[in-house]
Amino acid sequence: MNGYTFDGGKSDYPPLALMILSSFTNTQASQPGGAAPHFGANNNFAVDQTNLFYGGAIAPNLGAFAQATYDGVGRVLSWDNIDIRYARTANILDAQTVFGVSLNNNPTVQDVWNTTPAWSFPFVASALAPSPTAATMIEQGFAHQVAGLTAYTYWSRLIYLEFGGYGTLSPKTQSMLGVNSATNNVINGIAPYWRLAVQHDWERHSLEAGMFGMSASITPQRMSGFGADHLTDLGIDSQYQFLADPHSFSVQASAIFENQILDASANPALGFASNGHNTLRSYHAKATYYYEQTYGATLGLFRVEGTADAALYANPPGNSPNSTGVIGELDYFPFNHGGPNFWPWLNVKLGVQYICYPEFNGVSGGAAANNNTLYAFAWLVL
């Protein structure tokens, strides 16, 4: 919240980091034709992504978190999450207050809680496994395709308030930054974004509760001349943390309610949707326990449900967006108390994740279970 300007540690190097994520993916049923171009139908090894990060000050009161990514599955180099901030502090009503502005490219990427979409669990997932079709607009619907400016304040380490707006970058700009823009949805004008959260800390505990949202007029797939769709997302979230040594525990939960007025998509000339009005709901919850910040276990649940739509989802027999997933993950940090002598900042996370689908794109039973995924990964940060 202070604009990435706080320094620390004793390194004389610039605030850069390199991250490499490699993995093995197994799905319960093989995927005919291959899980992705250049990969087999099952049991795939991959270097998922290689990332370069900058995180630190640029000038007094001005700093940035910036990420560039090479996607080893899609074989594309692009910009990733960007958050540039200017922040100041003041004393209001005898309480420390932070004021700031954020220029960023992904709605919720500027949020500091692990309950909103950009930073929610699972923190990594396989790009070589099937995933549910339906997702709300704010859940990565415009990630890296937009530029947004928001203003925020955090009063007395208690109340957080933010408001701003997002607009879609031009196709040429997106192409230069490595983002596929050919069929991306376009925001007409400015899409407002808002966030309210209240957090209370006591001893080693913290509890947050809040709400967030976004509303946008959208031209679907850049097909102009057929009207516009109007989507509004309203989200609520909560987070509890107990951070101590050797035990730490956290719980996060969120719910997002989306209202869709599909005037353009339901236009017969486009035929992207069968209904003129749909709703979609997304629920997420997870609990994590760590021992000595070295051995971790997480159990997560998610559910997406909404109005059946034959054109929008096109997954007979029900044409339903409904999916339910249960995620279990075990993690191990071998160097969390200090890396080897030749590189004391070395950080490695080894993990294994399993996703079980009781329902997947409106079907259940064996057809849903075919998408169950085992994902083992090694996450290296230098």
In one-letter notation, the amino acid at residue 17 is A
How far, in Å, CA of 303 to CA of 286, rounded?
12
Structure tokens at 293: 């910040």
Question: So where are the chain's domains?
Answer: 16-381
In one-letter notation, the amino acid at residue 46 is A
Q: Is 313 left (phi over 0), alpha (psi -120 to 50) or beta?
A: alpha
How far, in Å, CA of 135 to CA of 367, rounded?
20
Does residue 352 contact residue 375 with C-beta atoms inside 8 Å? yes
Does residue 43 contact residue 126 with C-beta atoms inside 8 Å? no
DSSP 120: P
Structure tokens at 120: 């929610």
pLDDT at 54: 96
Q: Is 157 left (phi over 0), alpha (psi -120 to 50) or beta?
A: left
Per-residue pLDDT of the chain (382 residues; tens, 9 = 90+): 999 998 776 777 889 999 999 999 999 999 999 999 999 999 999 999 999 999 999 999 999 999 999 999 999 999 999 999 999 999 999 999 999 999 999 999 999 999 999 999 999 999 999 999 999 999 988 999 999 999 999 999 999 999 999 999 999 999 999 997 777 899 999 999 999 999 999 999 999 999 999 999 999 999 999 999 999 999 999 999 999 999 999 999 999 999 999 999 999 999 999 999 999 999 999 999 999 999 999 999 999 999 999 999 988 788 999 999 999 999 999 998 888 888 887 899 999 999 999 999 999 999 999 999 999 999 999 8
Q: How many other C-beta atoms lie within 10 A of the C-beta of residue 354?
A: 15
Backbone angles phi, psi at 130, to 5 degrees: -65, 150
Say yes or no: domain 16-381 is CATH 2.40.160: yes
Does residue 70 contact residue 77 with C-beta atoms inside 8 Å? yes
Nearest to 5 by CA among 54, 57, 55, 53: 57
Between the CA of residue 142 and those of 118, 135, 167, 214, 218, what are the distances in Å?
Answer: 11, 12, 10, 11, 11
Give the SS3 label for residue 323.
strand
pLDDT at 14: 87
Give the SS3 label for residue 51.
strand
Does residue 82 contact residue 58 with C-beta atoms inside 8 Å? no
pLDDT at 214: 98
One-letter-per-residue 3-state SS of 148-203: EEEEEEEECCCEEEEEEEEEECCHHHHHHCCCCCCCCCEECCCEEEEEEEEEEEEC
Q: Is 319 left (phi over 0), alpha (psi -120 to 50) or beta?
A: left
In one-letter notation, the amino acid at residue 218 is I
Residue that has been written with the tokens 């989507």 in this structure: 231
How far, in Å, CA of 286 to CA of 289, rounded?
10
pLDDT at 126: 97
pLDDT at 82: 98
Does residue 86 contact residue 61 with C-beta atoms inside 8 Å? yes
Q: How many other C-beta atoms lie within 10 A of the C-beta of residue 139?
A: 24
CA angle 353, 136, 169 (to 5 degrees): 105
In one-letter notation, the amino acid at residue 323 is S
Residue that has been written with the tokens 């000050």 in this structure: 57
DSSP 221: G
pLDDT at 345: 77
| Strands (DSSP E) found in 262-311 | 277-291, 295-306
